[in-house]
A and B are shown apart, each in its own frame.
Chain A
Amino acid sequence: AAGVIQSPRHLIKEKRETATLKCYPIPRHDTVYWYQQGPGQDPQFLISFYEKMQSDKGSIPDRFSAQQFSDYHSELNMSSLELGDSALYFCASSSQYAGELFFGEGSRLTVL
């Protein structure tokens, strides 16, 4: 069965650079979620989209932005990167009110 695809799996950037992470949800899933997991931390909710509109917003820094496109894939854009942005970024998808979120393998961002 198709799963949530995230790219790239690994990304290394310098401070103050920009990074973009992509997420391709499971076909026919209409909701996408982004989570950030710092070292030794639990995943923290950043933002979600339902039918290409932002539905919930969590602890997402102002330097970050995200959107969901017409084909339902989503991109998380991170600018002015800081060392503290180094983390594992998870994308998840679901059908609205279906109950279960399906997670991708994550994108590991390292900021040097």
Chain B
Amino acid sequence: AQSVTQPDIHITVSEGASLELRCNYSYGATPYLFWYVQSPGQGLQLLLKYFSGDTLVQGIKGFEAEFKRSQSSFNLRKPSVHWSDAAEYFCAGHNNAGNMLTFGGGTRLMVKP
């Protein structure tokens, strides 16, 4: 079945430290992949997306993600985390057949001062 998984439910990092959130996908063809961020009780904000082309994608708020076909991964990175980055992060994907988006289980990021 086509799916997206996020192996880490919770991650805690110190402010100023680097961050990597993992995402693995399972699709027959190259999927369309997305990272969203959600603050408590709020909507989904798109951080970045990958459709094709350059495998390193730049997003908003200093985030980037790298598509690695050999590892079926699309990990999200940020070189220096700010306290305001504390939120829930969702990886999502679809195979463009109707655009139905499937979400990973989410990773809750906590930032220590």
- Decide if A and B are genuine partners: yes
**B106 & A31 in contact (Cβ 8 Å cutoff):** no
Q: How far is the CB of A4 from chain B (nearest CB, A)?
A: 10
Q: Taking the complex as formed, is B102 at the interface, i.e. its CB lies under 8 A from any CB of chain A?
A: yes
**A50 & B98 in contact (Cβ 8 Å cutoff):** yes
Q: Taking the complex as formed, is B103 at the interface, i.e. its CB lies under 8 A from any CB of chain A?
A: yes
Question: Which residue in A33, A48, A103 is a CB contact (below 8 Å) of B43?
Answer: A103
Q: Taking the complex as formed, is A24 at the interface, i.e. its CB lies under 8 A from any CB of chain B?
A: no
Interface string of A53-76 (1 = CB under 8 A from B): 001101000000000000000000
Number of cross-chain contacts by CB at 8 Å: 57
- A58 vs B99: C-alpha distance in the bound complex, in angstroms? 13
Q: Is the interface of B mostly helix, strand, loop or mixed?
A: loop
Q: How far is the CB of A89 from chain B (nearest CB, A)?
A: 11
Give the interface segment out of A11-19, A77-85, A94-102: A94-102
Interface string of A90-112 (1 = CB under 8 A from B): 10101011111101111010000
Q: Which residue of A lies closest to B6 (CB)?
A: A42
Interface string of A34-58 (1 = CB under 8 A from B): 0000000011110010100001101
Chain A residues contacting B100 (CB-CB under 8 Å) are: 33, 45, 48, 56, 58
Interface size band for A: 20 to 34
Q: Taking the complex as formed, is B113 at the interface, i.e. its CB lies under 8 A from any CB of chain A?
A: no
Interface string of B55-82 (1 = CB under 8 A from A): 0000000000000000000000000000
**B43 & A101 in contact (Cβ 8 Å cutoff):** no
Chain B residues contacting A105 (CB-CB under 8 Å) are: 42-43
Chain A residues contacting B101 (CB-CB under 8 Å) are: 33, 45, 92, 101
Interface string of B3-38 (1 = CB under 8 A from A): 000000000000000000000000000001010100
Interface string of A4-35 (1 = CB under 8 A from B): 00000000000000000000000000010100
Chain B residues contacting A43 (CB-CB under 8 Å) are: 44, 90, 103
- B contact set with A: CB distance below 8 Å: 32, 34, 36, 41-44, 46, 49, 51, 90, 96, 98-106
